[in-house]
A and B are shown apart, each in its own frame.
Chain A
Amino acid sequence: MLKTVFIIEDDIFLQGLEATKLKKEGFDIQTASNSKEVISVIGRKIKIDLILLDLMLPEVDGFEILKMIRKEKTLEKTPVIIFSNLSEEKDIEKAKKLGISEFMVKSNFNLDELAKKVKELIGQ
């Protein structure tokens, strides 16, 4: 059974590129671009193996979404990669306190490197 990556990214173009790459690498993909869509995906009770989360999201930011995700019993310990173009220490600290596996600054990585990190964390 394929592992599922949940991509939470409001830039639809970037979301599409990330999804296409990870699908090619053999993952099932769920996507959301705002908090309403996140709630909808969580509500479907799909097994999620890893969450790829942007921080700058409309209305409800990535930190609040991460807090919301961590309240779900099935997602309490799910690995989360923050994939954002924010890189201030205060943002990294805040994310670490909410329990993340990795903080990756998007512009510093290409999609091959992202896929490699995802595989390192959850296998294939």
Chain B
Amino acid sequence: MDQEEKIKSLQEENKKLVEFGLKKAEMVSISAHQIRTSLSAIKWIIKMFMDGDFGKLNTEQESLMKKAYEDNDRAIEIVSELLLANKSEDIIEKKYDFKEVDIIELIDDSIFDFRGEANARGIEIIFLRPEKDFNTVLADREKLRIVLQNLLENAIKYGNTHGKIFITLKEAGGFTEISIKDTGVGISEEGKNKIFEKFYRDKEAQKKEAVGTGVGLFTTKKIVETHNGKIWFESNTNEGTTFFFTIPNFKPGK
């Protein structure tokens, strides 16, 4: 096979792989939806039993129902994590579409998405908005949103109940630097060198939250670096973690 034929063959193989990847992602998404529908029904029925809608439960029944409810919630979380892992694989490979993005609006949207989860844990999300007009950034909006969601989700998951999350923005030499600080468990000393590795889950994180795939920060780092940005953190055990990342500012005419 000559050079040109080899290239054409590889391109066709790649096209098939991309199509297969998209079909797989769609199948996972549909399956997840179906599993979640069943898990929702189970959740609601168990809660009705626990609330005494079908008569008072004895102590043993109450305890068993509580266990069933918690295990069902864990199954729901696992489905969410699998969906996230599925999307992460997909998202890194997808083409980037760089445009002008209003970072303040994107942060507001991300906070809106996580309001329910944060409220459920009594966690307050405080966005320290810049006082005057702020830059827009040059980014792929969907992927930048994933970065914010991953970092916010971690801050909530590993934050202490009734804690706070602070989000700040500042101009940093042609880039916008965003920080997300939590008052949670922090990252172990051992974990600090591995935290961005695919599938790595810090032991402090595992103590706090058993369910997780460990792909969030790996994907987050890939996305930030594809934007020519940087990501780093400061963390102390039981005091919390602050993640920082930079995204280039939008320059009109470029």
Q: Which residues of A does B touch, CB under 8 Å?
A: 11, 13-14, 17, 56, 85-90, 92, 96, 103-112
Say yes or no: B37 contacts A106, CB within 8 Å. Answer: yes
Q: Is B1 close to A, CB under 8 A?
A: no
Q: Which residue of B lies closest to A11 (CB)?
A: B37
Having A17-B41, A85-B33, one finds 15 other A-B pairs with CB under 8 Å, namely A14-B40, A14-B44, A17-B45, A85-B40, A87-B83, A88-B87, A89-B146, A104-B116, A106-B37, A107-B40, A107-B43, A108-B76, A110-B43, A111-B47, A112-B47
Q: How far is the CA of A111 from the CA of B51 in the complex (A)?
A: 11
Q: How far is the CA of A56 from the CA of B51 in the complex (A)?
A: 29
Q: How far is the CA of A112 from the CA of B52 in the complex (A)?
A: 13
CB neighbours of A96 from chain B (8 A):
109
List B residues 68-94 near A (Cβ within 8 Å): 76, 79-80, 83, 87
Q: Which residue of B lies closest to A85 (CB)?
A: B36
What are the nearest 3 A-B pairs in CB distance?
A: A85-B36, A107-B36, A106-B40
Q: Which residue of A lies closest to B117 (CB)?
A: A108
Q: Chain B: interface residue count, which band?
A: 20 to 34
Say yes or no: A17 contacts B116, CB within 8 Å. Answer: no
Q: Is B12 close to A, CB under 8 A?
A: no
Say yes or no: A110 contacts B80, CB within 8 Å. Answer: no
Partner of A106, one of B36, B87, B142, B149: B36
List B residues 102-129 near A (Cβ within 8 Å): 109, 113, 116-117
Q: Is B65 close to A, CB under 8 A?
A: no
Q: Is B101 close to A, CB under 8 A?
A: no
Q: Which residue of B lies closest to A56 (CB)?
A: B33
Q: How far is the CA of A89 from the CA of B84 in the complex (A)?
A: 11
Q: How far is the CA of A92 from the CA of B145 in the complex (A)?
A: 12
List B residues 14-39 near A (Cβ within 8 Å): 29, 32-33, 36-37, 39
Instruction: Decide: A107 near B79, CB < 8 A? Known: A13-B41, A17-B44, A56-B33.
Output: yes
Q: How far is the CA of A111 from the CA of B33 in the complex (A)?
A: 19
CB neighbours of B32 from chain A (8 A):
85
Q: How far is the CA of A31 from the CA of B171 in the complex (A)?
A: 51
Q: Which residue of B lies closest to A112 (CB)?
A: B47
CB distance from A28 to the nearest CB of B (A): 21
Q: Which residue of A lies closest to B42 (CB)?
A: A107
CB distance from B77 to the nearest CB of A (A): 9
CB neighbours of B41 from chain A (8 A):
11, 13-14, 17
CB distance from B175 to the nearest CB of A (A): 24
CB neighbours of A110 from chain B (8 A):
43-44, 47
CB distance from A17 to the nearest CB of B (A): 5
Q: Which residue of A lies closest to B29 (CB)?
A: A88
Residue of B80, B113, B116 with most partner-chain A CB within 10 A:
B116
Q: Which residue of A lies closest to B110 (CB)?
A: A89
Say yes or no: A92 contacts B76, CB within 8 Å. Answer: no
Q: Which residue of A lies closest to B79 (CB)?
A: A107
Say yes or no: A111 contacts B44, CB within 8 Å. Answer: yes
